[in-house]
């Protein structure tokens, strides 16, 4: 009697230690090899876009924070730039500098979470705690400025809610000095670790053509070797005043576009963010951060698509205004939503353990996927 | 690098009737309105043409234009009759760095738009989301089903302006 | 010796037997398992730049007891679909497999559970119970994740027994005995008589053996790491992939048995490594009892040295767990079959040739 084999459907269910939130992955397995991956999302859908239609423009900002809750400053950045374009107002220079500093600190914090949880998924428990220890210092800087550690409501339409604390510049410079050697320590623990390289090199290779066609942006696209960064290719705010490099994946230990490349791009980006923060802190001008905030935000009829380089990719806001104080339609193009769509393509032919490695290297946040 | 006016002229020459108008009076982005059943041919042209080379779809969003007549529905709630549902496409070229906004509108009672999923795989999930939240049907889409709402949600399409929450879903009370 | 002591007290062979076989369980294994859990939490905490349990007892030494009390009073859940006899027996088998190995390990010259001439052979054979227990646990849990974890674990343990046995054979070739007590006695004297440094007989053979002994030690340490399912080989319990592998479905006392069995197993393999390579219960620097002419002090000192060496190797196992990421299952198998086994074979042949000299 011949043995019958059939494909097994394994559910990495909504509750799982490694799926970065409530995500359901339906894996079709042939033994340990994956035939297809179907993500099922919507567990964290909070109807942000419908809520936004009932509120005024400034009231939307705390909701916007809660989408990618690990990089809240950047969510606000994108939205606020869009509304300011519609209104046609120009913010003071001090506001621009502070926005850049906060945004880059937020980028470092978000990448620390990505790297820490990625190490933990692969099995190295210790770098996770080192990353969070460093992230605590960034969160204290944020708390010093606006009182909140995770969800800030700091960027307002036309300016900021509070000016910087008098101690902020000194503390931020101390942080930059403290954090630089820690990147080297992370490299020793994870990046150059033989076992880590075995788990991530040549796994989940994302070819460049596929990446652009699927709309992949951010560190994932740069990991495939394409030098595309919105801060240089479509500059917003005052990023064209700073001098920084765009790291790309070069296949140093495997193929170009594998998980190790995407991970290493994030490590290098943290270094570049430190450079931007240093330059911004040195050039910080004086001014009043609340001077350009309008009394009533009532944009003219029109629409705008504003995009920023979120730590996870290109975050886009498509805002349609019908002339009233409530937005008519806000559509958020979240990078995590787009990146999750490519999972099926790059997971084929790998093993179950690799799905975790690939999912961690794509770095999604379910708040942004589901909105 | 071309600006939207030049691209509009190129498209008008090639497709004639399918291109309806070029709107640039309102802030901020000028957009080109096209017919819903020709959108995939136009996008294929934009994707393949050597001078335009729009190889990246930045965003695809459904919009409820709410430009119909308000009427009373069966249970006394307000529904909108007539009017259109629109889909906005934001395109970009990574080589030439120019951008373009396209818009198509389909009638509310029969919102059918051709799918551009075969050109940009990116559109796959965005079109599913537009179907889920607005009810816009994308023809030739390989797998059009709900993505954010539960798969068996029968109370309609939430982001429409005349949507009302159902009382119960699987025995659970919906409004709280 | 202790057996005779009990016999002389109680006058009955049977009671002396029973007491002697229960001794390692209560005096050593259970307290050690409790201590090892606390040690792991403190070691991991300090390596991760935090403190670990600090409140329950000074520096948290009562934490494990509190955890065990919590586990004991938890509800024992057995799902309806589970295969009940298998489900209930599995943790018992795993615990028995690790506990039985302690019978042949010499804790000191005065105490060895069972001084059989087949010592090390018995230990390897009886450790096979653990594989059966794990497979039963995975199958009867009626859970795809547990099944995957159990099969991976069985494959891993069975494969890594081979390099272990190959290295053990080299030791047997040099010393000519399977009896662990005799092996420990042979390494008497100071630390340069330990097997890792070539063995007790001075001569050219001793110095030739040293590099190969070190290779053998590394191979057996890695293989025994894989046998106890510790990182970097903890695929069966990989939390981020399979929730908890083969013991996902267990609660309460049964889970506590798996838990304690893991730590007891860690000590058992560390003990085997010390007996084979590091002199067993022999002291590296001579005995205080000899210095002070107190004969009864020596077995106590030997017990002290044995536990110290054992705990040191357990500490290194914990250190490795919190530093290294884990290997994927096919890399794990490749490491065993493509790297460790050929090296162990070559080691065996070379040592065999050297002993002919």
Is the pLDDT at C18 greater than 70, yes or no?
A: yes
What confidence tens digit (pLDDT) does each residue in A288-342 have?
888 888 888 888 888 899 989 999 989 999 999 888 889 999 999 989 998 988 8
Q: How far apart are CA C139 and CA C301, in angstroms?
A: 46
Least confident of A104-113, B119-128, C133-142, C338-347: C133-142
**Are A341 and B63 in contact (CB < 8 Å)?**
no
Is the pLDDT at C113 greater than 90, yes or no?
A: no
pLDDT score for C110 = 72
Q: Exposure string (b/e) for B5-33, b if CB count within 10 Å is 16 or more? A: eebbebbbeeeeebbeebbeebbbbbbbe
Give the Cα-Cα-Cα angle C147, A348, A228 (nearest 5 degrees): 130
| Tokens linked to C75 | 């509800």
**Are A356 and C323 in contact (CB < 8 Å)?**
no
Residues A52 and A317 sit within 8 Å (Cβ to Cβ): no
Q: Quick one: closest CA in A to C237, which residue?
A: A123
- Do B and A have ≥3 inter-chain CB pairs under 8 A? yes
Q: How far apart are CA A26 and CA A169, in angstroms?
A: 48
For chain B, first and last CA: distance in Å? 53
| Tokens linked to A266 | 């994030």
Q: How far apart are CA B148 and CA B128, in angstroms?
A: 9
**Are C329 and A32 in contact (CB < 8 Å)?**
yes
Q: Quick one: closest CA in A to B157, which residue?
A: A50
* Interface A:C, Cβ pairs < 8 A: 71
How many Å lie between the alpha carbon of B149 and the closest alpha carbon of chain A?
6
Is the pLDDT at B46 greater than 50, yes or no?
A: yes
Q: How far apart are CA C196 and CA C170, in angstroms?
A: 12
Question: Chain centroid to CA C178: how far?
Answer: 18
Which residue among B94, B97, B150 sits closest to A212, beta carbon to beta carbon? B94
Task: Characterise C199 by phi-psi region: left (phi > 0), alpha (psi -120 to 50), beta (else).
Answer: left
A200 closest CA partner among C153, C229, C327: C327
Mutate: best of A31, A125, A351, A357, partner C, most C CBs <10 A: A125
| Tokens linked to A110 | 């978000």
B27 in contact with chain A, both atoms CB, cutoff 8 A: yes
By CB atoms closer than 10 A (0-12, 13-18, 19+), residue C283 is buried
Structural domain count, chain B: 1
Q: How far apart are CA A267 and CA B171, in angstroms?
A: 49
Q: What residues make up the domain containing B68?
A: 4-173
Average pLDDT over residues C24-37: 80
Q: How far apart are CA B31 and CA B104, in angstroms?
A: 10
Is the pLDDT at C106 greater than 90, yes or no?
A: no
pLDDT confidence tier of residue A4, bands split at 50, 70 and 90: low
Contacting residues for C99 by C-beta, under 8 A, at least 6 apart: C25, C29, C261, C264
Contacts of B121 in chain A (CB under 8 A): 210, 213-215, 341, 345
Q: How far apart are CA A294 and CA A167, in angstroms?
A: 28
Q: Where are the domains of chain C?
A: 77-251+266-355
Interface of C with A in 42-61 (CB under 8 A): 44, 47-50
Contacts of A370 in chain B (CB under 8 A): 148
Q: In this structure, what CATH number is given to the domain that contains residue B73?
A: 3.30.460.80
Residues A299 and A83 sit within 8 Å (Cβ to Cβ): yes
Q: How far apart are CA B62 and CA B129, in angstroms?
A: 8
Q: How far apart are CA A173 and CA A169, in angstroms?
A: 6
**Are A199 and C232 in contact (CB < 8 Å)?**
no
Domain A8-35+58-370, CATH homologous superfamily name and number: Cytochrome-c3 Hydrogenase, chain B (1.10.645.10)
State the helix-helix crossing angle for A93-122 and A259-283, rounded to 10 degrees: 150
pLDDT confidence tier of residue C240, bands split at 50, 70 and 90: very low
């Amino acid at each position: 009697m011949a043995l019958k084999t059939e494909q097994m459907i394994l559910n990495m269910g909504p509750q799982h230690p490694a799926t970065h939130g409530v995500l359901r992955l339906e894996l079709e397995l042939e033994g340990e090899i994956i035939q297809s991956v179907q993500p099922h999302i919507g567990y964290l859908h909070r109807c942000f876009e419908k809520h936004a239609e009932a509120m005024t423009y400034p009231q939307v900002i705390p909701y916007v924070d809660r989408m990618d809750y690990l990089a809240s400053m950047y969510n606000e950045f994108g939205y606020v730039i869009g509304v300011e374009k519609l209104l046609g107002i120009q913010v003071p220079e001090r506001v621009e500098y502070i926005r850049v500093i906060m945004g880059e600190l937020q980028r470092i914090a978000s990448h620390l979470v990505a790297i820490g949880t990625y190490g933990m998924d692969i099995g190295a428990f210790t770098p996770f705690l080192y990353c969070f220890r460093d992230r605590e210092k960034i969160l204290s800087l944020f708390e010093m400025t606006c009182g909140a550690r995770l969800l800030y409501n700091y960027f307002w339409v036309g300016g900021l809610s509070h000016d910087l604390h008098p101690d902020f510049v000194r503390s931020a410079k101390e942080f930059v000095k403290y954090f630089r050697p820690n990147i080297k320590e992370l490299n020793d623990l994870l990046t150059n670790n033989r076992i880590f390289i075995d788990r991530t090199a040549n796994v989940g290779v994302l070819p460049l053509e596929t990446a652009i066609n699927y709309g992949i942006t951010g560190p994932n696209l740069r990991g495939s070797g394409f030098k595309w960064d919105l801060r240089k290719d479509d500059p917003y705010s005052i990023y064209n005043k700073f001098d920084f490099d765009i790291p790309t994946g070069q296949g140093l230990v495997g193929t170009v576009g594998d998980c190790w490349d995407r991970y290493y791009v994030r490590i290098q980006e943290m270094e570049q963010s430190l450079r931007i923060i240093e330059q911004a802190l040195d050039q910080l001008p004086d001014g009043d951060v609340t001077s350009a905030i309008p009394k009533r935000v009532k944009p003219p009829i029109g629409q705008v698509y504003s995009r920023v380089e979120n730590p996870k990719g290109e975050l886009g806001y498509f805002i349609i205004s019908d002339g009233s104080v409530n937005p008519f339609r806000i559509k958020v193009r979240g990078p995590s939503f787009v990146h999750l769509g490519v999972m099926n393509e790059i997971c084929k032919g790998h093993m179950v353990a690799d799905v975790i490695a690939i999912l961690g290297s794509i770095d999604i946040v379910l708040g942004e996927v589901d909105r | 690098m071309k600006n939207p006016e030049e691209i509009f002229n190129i498209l008008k020459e090639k497709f004639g009737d399918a291109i309806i108008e070029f709107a640039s009076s309102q802030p901020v982005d000028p957009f080109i309105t096209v017919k819903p059943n020709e959108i995939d041919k136009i996008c294929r042209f934009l994707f393949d043409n050597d001078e335009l080379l729009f190889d990246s779809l930045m965003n695809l969003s459904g919009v409820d234009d709410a430009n119909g007549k308000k009427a009373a529905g069966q249970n006394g709630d307000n529904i909108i009759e007539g009017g259109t549902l629109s889909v906005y496409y934001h395109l970009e070229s990574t080589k030439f760095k120019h951008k373009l906004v396209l818009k198509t509108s389909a009638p509310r009672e029969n919102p059918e738009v051709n799918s551009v999923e075969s050109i940009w795989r990116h559109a796959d999930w965005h079109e599913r989301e537009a179907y889920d939240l607005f009810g816009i049907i994308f023809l030739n889409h390989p797998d059009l089903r709900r993505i954010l709402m539960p798969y068996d949600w029968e109370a309609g399409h939430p982001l429409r302006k005349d949507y009302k929450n159902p009382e119960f879903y699987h025995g659970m009370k919906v409004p709280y | 010796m202790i057996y005779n002591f009990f016999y002389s007290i109680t006058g009955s062979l049977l009671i002396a037997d029973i007491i002697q076989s229960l001794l390692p369980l209560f005096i050593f294994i259970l307290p050690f398992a409790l201590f090892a859990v606390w040690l792991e939490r403190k070691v991991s905490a300090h390596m991760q730049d935090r403190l670990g349990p600090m409140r329950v007892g000074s520096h948290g030494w009562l934490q494990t007891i509190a955890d065990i009390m919590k586990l004991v009073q938890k509800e024992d859940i057995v799902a309806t679909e589970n295969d009940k006899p298998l489900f209930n027996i599995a943790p018992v088998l795993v615990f028995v497999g690790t506990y039985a190995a302690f019978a042949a390990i010499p804790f000191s010259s005065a105490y060895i559970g069972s001084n059989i001439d087949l010592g090390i052979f018995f230990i390897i054979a009886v450790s096979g119970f653990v594989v059966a227990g794990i497979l039963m646990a995975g199958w009867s849990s009626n859970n795809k994740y547990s099944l995957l974890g159990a099969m991976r674990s069985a494959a891993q343990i069975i494969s890594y027994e081979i390099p272990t046995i190959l290295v053990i054979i080299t030791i047997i070739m040099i010393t000519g005995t399977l009896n662990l007590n005799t092996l420990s006695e042979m390494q008497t004297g100071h630390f340069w008589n330990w097997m890792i440094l070539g063995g007790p007989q001075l001569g050219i053979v001793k110095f030739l053996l040293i590099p190969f002994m070190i290779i053998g030690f590394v191979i057996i340490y890695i293989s025994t790491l894989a046998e106890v399912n510790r990182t970097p080989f903890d695929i069966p319990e990989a939390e981020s992939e399979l929730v908890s592998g083969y013991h996902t479905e267990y609660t309460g006392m049964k889970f506590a048995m798996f838990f304690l069995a893991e730590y007891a197993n860690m000590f058992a393999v560390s003990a085997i490594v010390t007996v084979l390579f590091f002199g067993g219960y022999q002291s590296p620097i001579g005995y205080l009892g000899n210095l002070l002419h107190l004969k009864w002090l020596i077995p106590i000192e030997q017990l002290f040295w044995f536990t110290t060496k054992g705990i040191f190797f357990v500490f290194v196992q914990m250190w490795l767990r919190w530093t290294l990421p884990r290997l994927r299952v096919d890399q794990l198998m490749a490491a065993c079959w493509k790297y460790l086994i050929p090296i162990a074979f070559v080691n065996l042949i070379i040592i065999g040739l050297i002993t002919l000299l």
